[in-house]
A and B are shown apart, each in its own frame.
Chain A
Amino acid sequence: MSLPCNLIQPEENEYLNCIRCGLCLAVCPTYRVYKNETASPRGRVALARKGLEGELELTPNLAEQMYACLDCLACNDICPVGIRPADIAVEMRHVQEQIRPSGWKDTLFGALIAKPGRMEAATMPLRVYQGSGLRRLVYTLQIWKLLPARLRDLEGMLPRLPKRPLRRVLPEVTKARGDSRYRVGFFLGCAQSLLFADESAATVRVLARNGCTVVTPKDTVCCGMPAAGYGRMDLVKAHARFNIALFEKTATDVIVTDCATCGSKLKEYGQILAGEPEWAERAAVFSAKVRDVSEFLMSIPLEKPAGRIETRVTYHDPCHLRRAQKVWQQPRALMELIDGIDFVELPESDWCCGSAGSQLITHYATSLAVLDRKMDNLKSTGAEMIASGCPGCQMQLTTGIKRRQLAVKVVHPIVLLDQAYASQENSQ
């Protein structure tokens, strides 16, 4: 089969030097579950190469191997040659999408996810389900036990939703407490606004408390990660251009996000638009400004909270934070700033939790197997809380905790800092 000539595909030098040493097998969560080469980074690189070089057909099954990757980036990190198997897997999804476009992705990633208003409307039934007491009823009457396990896990994943999406509540400009030392743009992610509004509200409070004037553009669209994960690089680029233009109007020095996934994608805009003369420079400037909230806070003189939180806390590294952004010390340092916290390291803290965006829906068995290991490790810490600054990880961890009936609370690190400040206020 010959491929269309204008196909956007991984370049030869991305896979040519793979010597098949097998080092990546040691760190791959899907390989660890299936112990099968097909589910390994080395296998995926081989399949990509054979597919692109015409030795294999680019079948749906070949594409499925690319979708089976959790994109946790562990293989990218360990490869001594510099091959990036996880990136190749994602690029191959884009190849598949060009060969066999699937129309529903236009609707989901182009029309729905890209428009915050529509997302808010579409998720309304969930807010009704919770807000009306229906969810409580489901639990009280133990109706949830009647749900098939898979649906039960998905239901359990759902956090307590805010009454209203944060986007509707947060002011466009939040004034700094005291002198304004930084003008900070806040990129409010879709999941944060719709599902974890309390966390992002905490983020804005903490920033303001530490001398930041926080500007939150309300018209931001999705960072692009879901579209990228489903092979729609065209939509990612459109999202990127829109968000860049939007933030250019805010005249901010830094752009902060409290979502690991958004952060990693926003930091890639420069690279994503590098080939577009009109955008390359603007995208590079934008990406250079992006900081994870913990990364930003630990780089400025941060007020040490006088309030205490007496609890044992552990921390799960979101792949999109630790690997994609190399931010792993800062969230730990941020929590250790709080008196009373007994911080304990989670074994294999940097192994994927199995969320990977939507893997619990699309690859249920794999996602759960990966999650089970995470839960074993969590249990071994004896922690009462597990912190993680990623909505996907938080939902996945919540699912695991419910399945195992562990008494562990899932939090965003920023919430702990916010609470420590609050308890200091209360005691004063």
Chain B
Amino acid sequence: MKPNLIQELVKIVGKNAVLTSPEDLAVYSYDGTFEEHCPDVVVLPTSTEQVSQVIQLAAREHIPVVTRGMASGLAAASVPFSGGIVLCLTRMDRVLELDEENAIVHVEAGIITANLQAEVEKKGLFYPPDPSSIRHSTIGGNIACNAGGPRCLKYGVTGDYVLGLTVVLADGRVIHTGGKVIKDVVGYDLTALLTGSEGTLGVITEALLRLTARPKFARTALVEFNSIEDASETVNAILTAGIVPATLELMDQTAISCIEEAMHLGLPLDVEAILLVETDGQEETSVAREIEAAAEICTRHGARKVTVAKDESERQGLWKARRSVAPALARLAPNKLGEDITVPRSAIPEAVRRLKQVSAKYGLPIVIFGHAGDGNLHPNILFDKRDPQQWAKVEQMVAEEFAIALDLGGTLSGEHGVGTLKRPYLERALGPVSVDIQKRIKQALDPNNILNPGKVLPD
């Protein structure tokens, strides 16, 4: 990048917020996948105004801009394949206003989601979405990818809590969408459009988020199954019985043994699957009643054992385990490719069956866990990327995983997003008309294609 442009960036954000050394560029080349490509410069702004000025410069010079937070993404959405500017918003991490009366919080995009939760919980309020990366991802990234998480079964995904956004457009103009209102039908819903847009339509710099009352009680049960099919059928049995647990998580044998090796929690190693069921609410008795009812259904559907966590620390232990599954898998192989296909929940048992067949066919392990309650599964292929034969197989396996999801009436991604990795499959999932319309939306908002180019939509 031309030195005078670097100087201009320094003028906007200050010397300590412009990084250009080979070492700095190297560590901003990756996200939570194995993909990487160095940017030309890294900029760490501290205000919407600075972002706007940086984008104006990028627009003038037609420089690609890839916005990111902590780069925990699993779709290579924030890998700067076209070089250019990496706009890292981690230093914009303030709570601008906590409006207790309206139960709305106004935050900057770079706040770590767990810190946001902790802040609002101090006031008895609750921000429910809980991606597993909650401690190492930012709310801006969560919104840009419309992140989910275990609790979304009952509470909904990130997008369900976004009331308004401050966004810097591709020409540097700033818009505010939505506002502190729950109902709002004036004009197109730009908030919803930008949520999940993965940095391709604008740079989200601030957000207004809806909060709820913090549930006072929670009970968590660990349910062991000798057959993974029984486990996945139990999911539907619980939900059709009219119980809405906060979470309903499935883990297969490999996932269990992996966490056990990493964390020594005393999980059973001789079962084929585990369900983690949690109920929560404001009344202790109803929460307890629900977990008992769920336990009974589990037993009726072939559960070998149901253990309800005795206290908060036991419960925290179980959740820590669940959140560590994905990374812990790396103990087994140098690389893993985790997808997050989603199917109608009635199709979960069939999806699990077919995924196991794919694994058997190619001879590479697929570990299955995920948010079974909302049909969102995380099949993880374990492999060694240095072996070209394995890598070739992985590419075919991923295609088959996506085919399974679409075939069963599902979709490619429930919460990770499309990024780069799922881009080749997008047209198949959406159809040519939808892709055409989406390309026109992109064209309207970013005519010079500088915002996260080469992501989400096919060329």
Q: List residues of A whose CB falls within 8 A of some B CB.
A: 16-26, 35-38, 40, 42-43, 46-47, 50, 55-57, 59, 61-62, 65, 79-82
Name the residue in B22, B91, B327, B336 with the highest tally of chain A Cβ atoms < 10 Å from its Cβ.
B327
Q: Choose among B21, B27, B93, B336 the residue that contacts A19 (Cβ–Cβ < 8 A).
A: B336
B136 close to A23 (CB less than 8 A): yes
What separation, in Å, do the CA atoms of A20 and B73 have in the docked complex? 10
Q: Which of B90, B110, B112 contacts A26 (CB under 8 A)? A: B112
Known A-B contacts A22-B136, A26-B136, A35-B110; A81 and B331 likewise in contact (beta carbons under 8 Å): yes
> How many pairs of A and B residues are in contact by the CB < 8 Å rule?
97
Residues in chain B near residue A56, CB distance under 8 A: 22-23, 26
Q: Is the CB of A37 within 8 A of B136?
A: no
1/0 contact trace for B309-348 toward A, CB 8 Å?
0000000000000001011101101111000000000000
Of B1-9, B28-36, B296-304, B364-372, the segment with at least 4 beta carbons within 8 Å of chain A is B28-36
Contact A37 B27 (CB under 8 A): yes
Q: Are B27 and A80 in contact (CB under 8 A)?
A: no
Contacts of A81 in B (CB 8 A): 262, 327-328, 330-331
Smallest distance from the beta carbon of A340 to chain B beta carbons, Å?
29
Residues from chain A with a CB closer than 8 A to the CB of B21 are: 61
For chain B, residues 230 to 275, give those with C-beta under 8 angstroms from any C-beta of chain A: 262-263
Instruction: State the Cβ distance, A425 to closest chain B Cβ, in Å.
Output: 41
Q: How far is the CA of A220 from the CA of B361 in the complex (A)?
A: 63
CB-based contact B327/A23 at 8 Å: yes
Check B429 for interface membership: any CB of A closer than 8 A.
Answer: no
CB B392 to nearest CB in A, in angstroms, measures 20
The answer to the question of B208 belonging to the interface, with a C-beta cut-off of 8 Å to chain A, is: no
In the complex, B352 has a CB within 8 A of chain A: no
User: Does B137 touch A at the CB level, under 8 Å?
Assistant: yes
Q: A59-B23, A65-B23, A80-B324 are in contact. Are A20 and B32 (CB under 8 A)?
A: yes
In the complex, the answer to whether B335 meets A43 with C-beta atoms within 8 Å is no
Contacts of A55 in B (CB 8 A): 26
By a CB distance below 8 angstroms, the chain B residues around A35 are 44, 90-91, 93, 110
Interfacial chain B residues near A24, Cβ < 8 Å: 136
Q: Which 6 pairs from chain A and chain B are nearest by CB?
A: A26-B135, A43-B27, A35-B90, A22-B136, A80-B327, A22-B72
Q: Shortest beta-carbon distance, A319 to chain B, in Å? A: 19
Complex interface: chain A residues within 8 A of B331 (CB): 17, 80-82
The contact sample of 8 A-B pairs, CB cut-off 8 A, is A16-B334, A17-B331, A19-B335, A21-B327, A46-B26, A55-B26, A80-B328, A82-B331
What is the bound-complex CA distance between A314 and B206, given in angstroms? 38
Minimum CB distance partner of B46 in chain A: A35
| Cβ–Cβ contact B90 & A19, under 8 A | no
**Inter-chain pairs besides A20-B34, A46-B26, A65-B23, 6 sampled, C-beta below 8 Å:** A19-B335, A20-B33, A22-B70, A22-B133, A56-B22, A81-B331
Q: How far is the CB of A34 from chain B (nearest CB, A)?
A: 9
Find chain B residues with CB under 8 A from A20 CB: 30-34, 71
Q: Are A21 and B32 in contact (CB under 8 A)?
A: yes
Residue from A17, A19, A46 in contact with B32 in the complex, judged by beta carbons closer than 8 Å: A19
A36–B334 CB distance below 8 A: no
B229 within 8 Å of A (CB atoms) = no
* CB atoms of B71 and A22 under 8 A apart: yes
Task: State the Cβ distance, A57 to closest chain B Cβ, in Å.
Answer: 8
> Is B98 positioned at the interface, with any CB of A under 8 Å from its CB?
no
Residue of A at shortest CB range from B28?
Answer: A37
Is B24 close to A, CB under 8 A?
Answer: yes
CA distance A21 to B134 in the complex (A): 12
CA distance A303 to B324 in the complex (A): 43
Interface hub of A18, A26, A65 (most chain B Cβ within 10 A): A26
Min CB distance A345 to B, Å, is 15
B70, A80: Cβ atoms under 8 Å?
no
Alpha-carbon gap, A46 to B23, bound state (A): 9
Query: Distance in Å from the Cβ of B66 to the closest Cβ of chain A?
Result: 13
A-chain residues with CB within 8 Å of residue B328 when the two chains form the complex: 80-81
Q: List B residues 88-118 near A (Cβ within 8 Å).
A: 88, 90-91, 93, 110, 112, 114
Chain B neighbourhood of A26, CB < 8 A: 112, 114, 135-136
Is B19 in contact with chain A by the CB < 8 A criterion? yes
Cα A319 to Cα B71 in complex, Å, equals 27
Chain A residues with CB under 8 Å of B34's CB are: 19-20
